[in-house]
Amino acid sequence: MKNLGSEIVVATRNAGKVKELEPLFRQKGIEVKSLLDYPDMPDIIEDGDTFAANALIKARAIALHLGIPALADDSGLCVDRLNGEPGVYSARYAGEPSNDEANNRKLLEELSKLPRFDGEQTRSLSPARFVSAICLVDAGGQVVSAVEGSCEGEILSSPRGDKGFGYDPLFYIPAMDKTMAELSIDQKNAISHRGRAIQALWDDLENK
């Protein structure tokens, strides 16, 4: 397996995302740092039209600015009945600044405009998936690994659970009869888009 060293910088200021990633890297003996540890890092313009493009933009910008390897995860929610929205705009679906509650409210408002989105019918009419694209680059900004992971689910008509962040309270997983926001971190990492993308990263690095 390619040696990542004992420390890695993840291109995010999202404390919830860092909290999920920490145990995944800890099991490999790697300490996770984030942009919360580098408050002077300038904002990065994420203007890619795919999750993978944005992950590369973020990872490369961090690596070149700090002169160290960096990893970026770009992820979001894709709802079939909304033609894949909010997609790459998931974090700012309701506008800037990013706000989870406002994003969830807009998602339900957009779905409510569609035929037969109500009550118990919601689950069968609103299939969706979380998608995570992860890009790891070296200190010079060259791509070491680029992988993706996804998790299938359905959108509920009202939130459930108080764990997680983002759209987790609305994202229902039929096989577990729970939303993402009702899972522990270990449970979530075992089945989530981000957890699967990290496993794909390990598998890819094993072959390098």
**Residue numbers belonging to the annotated binding site for Mg(2+):** 74
Give the integer Cα–Cα distance in Å for 20 and 162.
Answer: 15
Distances (CA, A) of 127 to 18, 157, 170, 200: 27, 12, 12, 24
| 3-state SS, residue 71 | strand
Q: Which of 74, 162, 186, 204 is catalytic?
A: 74
- Would you report the helix, strand and coil content of the chain in percent, each value rounded to 5? 40, 25, 35
- In the annotated binding site for substrate, the residues are 12-17, 75, 165-168, 188, 193-194
Catalytic site includes residue 74: yes
Q: Residue 186 phi/psi, 5° resolution?
A: -65, -40
Do 155 and 125 form a contact (C-beta atoms < 8 A)?
no
DSSP collapsed to 3 states, 148-203:
EEEEEEEECCCCCCCCCCCCHHHEEECCCCEEHHHCCHHHHHHHCHHHHHHHHHHH
From the annotation, which residues make up the binding site?
Answer: 12-17, 74-75, 165-168, 188, 193-194
Cα angle for residues 4, 33, 77 (degrees, 5° grid): 95
| Residues belonging to the active site | 74
